């Protein structure tokens, strides 16, 4: 299968604490939300995203531990794209 370019996206972090993706669909703790715009030949629209992480130095330091955890961060992003033609694309698919 050949890959092709769908769109370019510009993402922005927001202070909004309302997750786009429910926590029961993700592993770890919510560490951020945001919005963005995407533009491409076949797909244009806006997106909203949530980013969850587990076993990560950022979470350990945020919790007050001076020594970070040994494991690498396991990240679990998700969100939704609202296209100009009124379709909604969610990832991961629910």
44-79 pLDDT, tens per residue? 999 999 888 877 776 666 677 666 556 667 778 889
Domain boundaries, the chain: 8-91
Side-by-side strand order, sheet with 29-39:
8-14, 29-39, 45-54, 74-83, 88-91
> Would you place residue 94 in the very low, low, confident or very high pLDDT band (cuts 50, 70, 90)?
low
In this predicted model, which residue has the larger pLDDT, 24 or 89? 89
């Amino acid at each position: 299968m050949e890959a092709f370019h769908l769109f370019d996206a510009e993402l922005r972090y927001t202070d909004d604490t309302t997750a786009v993706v429910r926590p029961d669909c993700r592993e770890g703790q919510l560490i951020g939300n945001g919005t963005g715009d995407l533009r491409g030949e076949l797909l244009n629209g806006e997106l909203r995203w949530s980013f969850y992480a587990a076993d990560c130095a950022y979470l350990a330091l945020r919790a007050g531990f001076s020594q970070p955890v040994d494991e690498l961060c396991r990240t679990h992003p998700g969100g939704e794209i609202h296209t100009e033609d009124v379709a909604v694309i969610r990832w991961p698919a629910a």
